[in-house]
């Protein structure tokens, strides 16, 4: 167990205002050539903004999740819905033609836009590709 508070992040328009402060600050520093100690002033302005938000608008923050790699099947929004093994369908890559009949571009299974279990469109021209018979 840790004594640290959970990581809290800005949400909504407060986050946008914070980003604008940094973007405008960096622009001013770059255009005027005031990198040192200007960057320290920008950090101080950012800290003052966050401190004022914590005092005046505590709902501007929400608890963030720990940073780091997420386990498979889990997103930042929560666990991904699991599919039953029988409902998992695979595309039949071996049925694709070697080249597109419309634009003669090479066809690769990982590049086509699959429109169905055995239906795909050319990634270059968008033509529906004819599948060969199995």
DSSP H helix total and E strand total for the chain: 2, 7
66 pLDDT above the threshold of 50: no
b/e sequence 3-26, b meaning 16+ C-beta within 10 Å: eeeeeeebeeebeeebeeeeeebe
CA angle, 75 then 61 then 23, to 5°: 90
More confident residue, 51 or 121: 121
126 pLDDT above the threshold of 50: yes
pLDDT in tens, 88-106: 557 778 888 888 888 988 8
| CA–CA separation, 110 and 41 (whole Å) | 49
Q: What is the dihedral of CA 111, 115, 116, 122, to 10 degrees?
A: -50
With both helix axes pointing from N to C terminus, report the angle between 13-32 and 35-56 in degrees, rounded to the nearest 10. 160
Contacts of 111 (CB under 8 A, 6+ apart): 123
Measure CA 54 to chain center. 27
């Amino acid at each position: 167990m840790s004594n640290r508070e959970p990581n809290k992040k800005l949400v909504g328009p407060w986050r946008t205002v914070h980003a604008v402060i940094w973007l405008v600050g960096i622009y001013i520093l770059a255009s005027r050539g005031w990198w040192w100690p200007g960057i320290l002033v920008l950090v101080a302005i950012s800290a003052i903004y966050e401190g004022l938000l914590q005092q005046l608008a505590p709902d501007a923050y929400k608890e963030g999740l720990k940073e780091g790699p997420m386990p498979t099947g889990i997103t930042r929004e929560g666990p991904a819905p699991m599919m039953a093994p029988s409902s998992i369908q695979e595309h039949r890559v071996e049925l694709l033609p070697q080249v597109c009949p419309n634009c003669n571009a090479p066809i690769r299974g990982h590049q086509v836009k699959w429109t169905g279990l055995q239906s795909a469109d050319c990634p270059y021209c968008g033509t529906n590709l004819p599948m060969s018979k199995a």
